[in-house]
Amino acid sequence: MSVLVYVEQVEGKFKKSVFEAVSYAKAIADQQGTSLSAVSIGNVADSELNELGKYGASKVLKVEADQLKNFVNQAYAAVIAEAAKKEGANIVVLSNSFSGKGLAPRVAVKLEAGLIDGAVDLPTGDFSVKKTAFSGKAFAITTLTSANKVIALNPNAFGVKENHTNITIEAFSPEVKSSDLAAIVKEIVRATNKVSLPDAEIVVSGGRGLKGPENWGMVEELADLLGAATACSKPVSDADWRPHSEHVGQTGIAISPNLYIAIGISGAIQHLAGVSSSKVIVVINKDAEAPFFKVADYGIVGDAFEVVPKIIAALKAHKG
């Protein structure tokens, strides 16, 4: 019995959310009195794989077949399930990323495992795990009663914890059926200069109060200065002022950054659902009655076009 963590690489590198998943999986391995193995698929340099040892993995299975260069969930799930069998792992941990969401369910079916996605805490007693439910309006404590278990961890829920361990790298080449590669990746478009929203530690978000897409310059400037991702409310993406991929809320992306700054967003229940697990919330709105102030940690009642430039100037001064 052991724990296996899938470490998703992006262009040969691991992101913070991967180290977080490794840290979380290591904590579970410690709970279970067992060791942690990782499985990496695609081309990743050994120096990068060795990084996983910092967070508690004692072994990494390196799967580098050319046909697995691009993410195809059907094939990747087959590899992860084979890795779990090889390692005798009954618990598989992944990050609840876009790719993870397509992968974890397939792994769970292959292993006839119960699956918890959106986990926000470690398992307790009878393997009960707290997960988000009702789009952030509640949590569901879900118990996995199956012998095999799969957990997809929400970004920013556990944090990265160092746990230096000697790590060995082992090449692993399970057979992949050609039918598992039926989906063909034609193109990957990734904005390299932007922080991705689900992983972001700080998010600056704009609403209808900004009056039009031409006024997003200050939102982007503030985000750049903070190393933050930009986001928006539903009316803004519905009006095509900003892309749908930036819409946070109940029917958009649910996020839980350390800092969420909402500018000109009134805070409808559907919006709050997607952002209320942010650790610190700042609300800037000219309407003192805006419901968002009720869940904010810091609030400024004022005109965004006067307030935000002041904040930008103060931030520039703060950064020296």
Site for other proteins in 202-221 (CB under 8 A): 202
Taking the complex as a whole, how short is the minimal distance between the CB of residue 251 and other proteins, in angstroms? 5
Task: Report residue 167 as tokens.
Answer: 């790590």
Return the range that interacts with other proteins (CB under 8 A); candidates 35-43, 44-52, 83-91, 108-116: 108-116
CA 149 to the chain's CA centroid? 20
Ramachandran category for residue 134: left, alpha or beta (phi over 0 → left; psi -120 to 50 → alpha):
left
Is 267 known to sit in a ligand binding site? yes
Taking the complex as a whole, how short is the minimal distance between the CB of residue 23 and other proteins, in angstroms? 19
Is 268 known to sit in a ligand binding site? yes
- Using CB under 8 A as the binding rule, whether residue 242 contacts other proteins is answered as no
- Using CB under 8 A as the binding rule, whether residue 50 contacts other proteins is answered as no
Among the listed residues 21, 68, 79, 116, the single contact to other proteins using CB under 8 A: 116
Among the listed residues 65, 160, 169, 301, the single contact to other proteins using CB under 8 A: 301
CA 237 to the chain's CA centroid? 21
Q: Which is nearer to other proteins, 59 or 106 (CB)?
A: 106
- Using CB under 8 A as the binding rule, whether residue 106 contacts other proteins is answered as yes
Q: Which is nearer to other proteins, 1 or 168 (CB)?
A: 1
Parallel, antiparallel or unpaired: strands 128-133 and 89-95: unpaired
Among the listed residues 46, 138, 178, 289, the single contact to other proteins using CB under 8 A: 138
- Using CB under 8 A as the binding rule, whether residue 110 contacts other proteins is answered as yes
Write out the binding residues for other proteins, residues 150-189 only, by CB under 8 A.
179, 182-189
Query: Distance (Å, rounded) from C-alpha 203 to C-alpha 222?
Result: 10
Query: Distance (Å, rounded) from C-alpha 221 to C-alpha 235?
Result: 22
- Using CB under 8 A as the binding rule, whether residue 2 contacts other proteins is answered as no
Computed from CA positions of residues 138, 256, 159, 96, in that sequence, does the dihedral angle turn out positive or negative?
Answer: positive
Residue with tokens 């006067």: 306
- Using CB under 8 A as the binding rule, whether residue 239 contacts other proteins is answered as no
Is 266 known to sit in a ligand binding site? yes
Among the listed residues 54, 86, 161, 194, the single contact to other proteins using CB under 8 A: 194
CA atoms within 13 A on the CB side of 132: 24
Q: Which is nearer to other proteins, 81 or 167 (CB)?
A: 81
Task: Report residue 196 as tokens.
Answer: 């991705």
Taking the complex as a whole, how short is the minimal distance between the CB of residue 244 and other proteins, in angstroms? 4
| Closest by Cα among 17, 65, 16, 11 to 41 | 65
Query: Distance (Å, rounded) from C-alpha 140 to C-alpha 117?
Result: 11
Query: Distance (Å, rounded) from C-alpha 24 to C-alpha 181?
Result: 30
- Using CB under 8 A as the binding rule, whether residue 128 contacts other proteins is answered as yes
| Closest by Cα among 243, 239, 249, 241 to 292 | 249
- Using CB under 8 A as the binding rule, whether residue 59 contacts other proteins is answered as no
Q: Which is nearer to other proteins, 167 or 202 (CB)?
A: 202
Taking the complex as a whole, how short is the minimal distance between the CB of residue 40 and other proteins, in angstroms? 17
Residue with tokens 């050319």: 66
Residue with tokens 């809320």: 249
Write out the binding residues for other proteins, residues 275-294 only, by CB under 8 A.
276-277, 279-284, 293-294
Residues making up the annotated binding site for FAD are 208, 264-271, 285
